[in-house]
Structure 1
Amino acid sequence: MASFTPHGTAYESFGSGPHVIALVHGLGLNRHSWQWQVPALSGTHRVITFDLHGHGDSSVPPTTPSLTVFSDQLAELFDHLGIARASVFGFSLGGMIARRFAMDHADRLETLGILHSAHARDKAAHDAIQARVVQAAQDGPAATVEAALSRWFTDGFRLSHPQMMDEVRRWILANRKDVYAPIYQVLVDGVTELVAPSPPIAAPSLVMTGEEDYGNSPAMSRAIAAEIPGSELVILPGLRHMALAEAPELFNAQLLAFLSRVQRG
């Protein structure tokens, strides 16, 4: 059952421990997309999941959506919960928001996880994602959901797990057309403000993606890692975008191993 901040952010808290992890979901998803991670992480950490503005049970964005709007939403959530510092792990759009948070609120960041997230795109990749935004603006999330499932899951897994596909499909289709497309545009435009951050991100960082995540490719993750001194890079073999759901044991093992290396106390 979700609780709410005064600004309408729906959130849940799990587990306890000396360290806090905030998990930031991707475009069109919601806090429940972390259901495969919460049991593993909350055994040793306090874990916070929440719905981005315009998603799940949270209020719509208070102004034109941007990475800063979502970064400030997370800071407001920390204020509400009395959290001074935390690890922030973001998936896809959430990984972009996590980087923006690292740039805007560095003093509140303990460690950073950038998971299956985009970096600078070539023209073909930019045009392809921009075309999907236009589709979503015209016809809503239904226009892009089936293609998304194909990109996100390997073919065999998608065919053998119809119930999971139905769940993820429901999450995406629940988004309001008039809110979804402007947030989708942030996925397109927000990348430019994240390239070569100055000063560089200083928090211990994990950068991870799937070998077959073509929209958030290994090349992109390598470029992100190259811009964060001392960061760790992991490429998950044979997996696409939604590795967190398709191979949670492997995915979670990487997160926990990273945390064990960089956290003390």
Structure 2
Amino acid sequence: MDITKYNRETSFQAFGVKTEPAIILIHGLGLCKDLWEDIVPELAKVYHVIVYDLYGHGFSKPLDSEASLEIFSTQIIDLMAYLNIKKAHFIGFSIGGMINRKLAINHPEKVLSLIILNSPHQREPKLQRIVEERADQVREEGVSATLDDALIRWFTEKFRLKYGNKIALVVKWRKLVDSKSYASTARVLALGVNELINQKKNYKIRTLVMTCEKDSGSTPRMAREIARDYNCSELVLVPYLRHLGLMEDPRAFLIPILNFLRGSNKWH
């Protein structure tokens, strides 16, 4: 990967050719821009690819106020201005898929397309309580309080046993986060879905929605509901895998993403 750069507040890396259409990739809670390392090389053959760390994650600055989808979407707009990017395709994983939806609501003129990966939508009451309890737990006990259980939810048992090096990466990324920023962002993951549901949808943006068959927090039902919010949407369900199927089988995501982006270029 290229040398990490900063725009004073945000740590980012850029790949590919600047004259090609831009893709901005948004990682999930407790992760960092290195989440995308298995798919960036293929994307960078055709596009100008930007990966970055959310505030309080990786090597970006900590949050100086309570987290919100507004703050995180504005972080992207500021990064685009710094890089002189007028429009981009936005790929968001988990809370990243909430952030790119918020950006599309506020700044549809900046969006070439949306790709929403393993991202939550309206939860059933029991699951909503569980997610809120996890957010409370990390606020009280620290960033690693929920990690062991999360690894079970995120990866298949076979993968956890065989690829300890990948699991160690996720643990490393969690240790990079700023504790206050993480706790605040966990509340956004828990409560921000309602904000998206209650705001006007942008039906004209071409959208790819993906999740995994065994993702217990961003379920196939949720993915179908997100896809219904956009008239120009495609839905892909990845069999067998869990929340971080993106790490377990990158090509299961990369191939649909590339096919979708080729269609987006024609559509625009």
Return the TM-score normalized by structure 1. Answer: 0.97
Cα deviation code 1:220-244 (max 9, x no counterpart) = 0000001111200000011111111
Which position in structure 1 is the counterpart of 2:13?
12
Cα deviation code 1:187-239 (max 9, x no counterpart) = 01100111164243421100000000010000000000011112000000111
The CA deviation at 1:183 is 0.8
Which position in structure 1 is the counterpart of 2:241?
239
Which position in structure 1 is the counterpart of 2:156?
154
Task: Name the CA distance, whole Å, in 2 between partners of 1:32 and 1:86.
Answer: 20
Task: Name the CA distance, whole Å, in 1 between partners of 2:120 and 2:134.
Answer: 15
Which position in structure 2 is the counterpart of 1:44?
46
Corresponding residue SS for 1:60: coil
Corresponding residue SS for 2:144: helix
Tell me if structure 1 keeps the 8 A contact 2:21–2:47.
yes
One-letter amino acid of the structure 1 residue matched with residue 32 of structure 2: N
Q: Superposed, which structure 2 residues align to 1:74-223 within 5 Å? A: 74-195=76-197, 197-223=199-225
Tell me if structure 2 keeps the 8 A contact 1:117–1:209.
yes
Tell me if structure 2 keeps the 8 A contact 1:61–1:69.
no
Which position in structure 1 is the counterpart of 2:63?
61
Task: Name the CA distance, whole Å, in 2 between partners of 1:38 and 1:47.
Answer: 7
Corresponding residue SS for 1:36: coil
Task: Name the CA distance, whole Å, in 2 between partners of 1:55 and 1:177.
Answer: 9
One-letter amino acid of the structure 2 residue matched with residue 113 of structure 1: I
Corresponding residue SS for 1:224: helix
Which position in structure 2 is the counterpart of 1:255?
257
Corresponding residue SS for 1:165: helix
Distance 1:131 1:48, change over 3 A: same
One-letter amino acid of the structure 1 residue matched with residue 182 of structure 2: Y
Cα deviation code 1:29-48 (max 9, x no counterpart) = 01011111101111111100
One-letter amino acid of the structure 2 residue matched with residue 140 of structure 1: G
Tell me if structure 1 keeps the 8 A contact 2:23–2:47.
yes
One-letter amino acid of the structure 1 residue matched with residue 251 of structure 2: E
CA RMSD of aligned residues (A): 1.2
Task: Name the CA distance, whole Å, in 1 between partners of 2:227 and 2:53.
Answer: 27
Tell me if structure 1 keeps the 8 A contact 2:118–2:211.
yes
Tell me if structure 2 keeps the 8 A contact 1:103–1:201.
no
Task: Name the CA distance, whole Å, in 2 between partners of 1:4 and 1:177.
Answer: 21
Q: Unpaired runs of 5+ in structure 1? A: none
Corresponding residue SS for 1:169: helix
One-letter amino acid of the structure 1 residue matched with residue 264 of structure 2: V
Identity of aligned residues (%): 37
Deviating more after overlay: 51-60 vs 195-204: 195-204
Q: Unpaired runs of 5+ in structure 2? A: none
Distance 1:152 1:35, change over 3 A: same
Task: Name the CA distance, whole Å, in 1 between partners of 2:255 and 2:198.
Answer: 29
Task: Name the CA distance, whole Å, in 1 between partners of 2:77 and 2:181.
Answer: 22
